[in-house]
Amino acid sequence: MRTQRLFFFLLVFEILLTSCSTTKNLSRRGAQHVNKYDFYHKDIPQAFDGFRIVFISDLHYKSALQQAGLIKLVRQLQTINPDLLLMGGDYQEGCQYVTELFDRLAEVQPRYGIAGVMGNNDYERCHDDVVTEMKKHGMRVLEHTCDTITKNGQRIIIAGVRNPFDLKLNGVSPTLALSPKDFVILLTHTPDYVEDVDVSNTDLALAGHTHGGQVTLLGFYAPVVPSHYGKRFLKGEKKSSAGVPIIITNGIGTSSKRLRMFAPSEIVVIELHCK
């Protein structure tokens, strides 16, 4: 029995060592995983069948993500060659890093451009710097506004939420003014917004903020989850109570501790398919 317990302890210890990504190795990496979702919906126009969207969030540059990791991330994104790049906020860990970050991200050059929303970090500091740099590179800033993507005379709509933590100011979703016939993607920093607010006409929501727990026990238990709903919206593909599909990414960088355990940094790739 003692031998079995010792073997189990050593096995768990080895798993933890190999799965725990620290500042040293994260700083040289881009994203550890690329997670692909095939998304089918009746409102996706025929012209957008096979349309490839990449979603990244929570870069927190420079946290565990350092210059070498950012360069690697850009190369990964270029290799994926998305039609559209969407970003979910929490871009920086200091205003001095904003210019370099967006100069690098601009190198991806998707055919239908880059659009993004802000995260809580970006409202706490550097908001105007982030907006200026994004606009300088032709990236669309979606703060309670919508962006229309047109292809072969057909369209999809990207709606972005401004500061989803301030529901007194932003508790009316920008999707309410849209047509239920359009295919609409709602971009919000936190998945809680999709549960807390009426987001009618949304066909797919994209969110970050949770970091997948960032430090978890074998991916199942996360001591800290920045969501009112605990692990319900921790990561992956979920649905709100109203049945709205949400894809929640682990994000790229780290906050607080420069450490990831069983919550690998990731790029999300969504390929659209019409039913």
**Which amino acid is residue 114, in one-letter code?**
I
Report the Cα–Cα distance between both ends of the chain, in Å, rounded: 56
How does pLDDT run along the chain (275 residues), one tens digit per residue? Answer: 554 453 344 334 444 444 455 545 555 678 999 999 999 999 999 999 999 999 999 999 999 999 999 999 999 999 999 999 999 999 999 999 999 999 999 999 999 999 999 999 999 999 999 999 999 999 999 999 999 999 999 999 999 999 999 999 999 999 999 999 999 999 999 999 999 999 999 999 999 998 886 788 776 677 778 899 989 999 999 999 999 999 999 999 988 777 888 889 999 999 999 98
pLDDT of residue 28: 61
**Cα–Cα distance measured from residue 172 to residue 170, given in angstroms and rounded to the nearest whole number:** 6
Looking at residue 40, what is its pLDDT? 98
Q: What single-letter amino acid sits at 229?
A: Y
62: preceding bond cis by omega (within 30 degrees): yes
Domain ranges for the chain, please list them: 2-274
* Contacting residues for 11 by C-beta, under 8 A, at least 6 apart: none
Specify the CATH class of 2-274 in words.
alpha beta
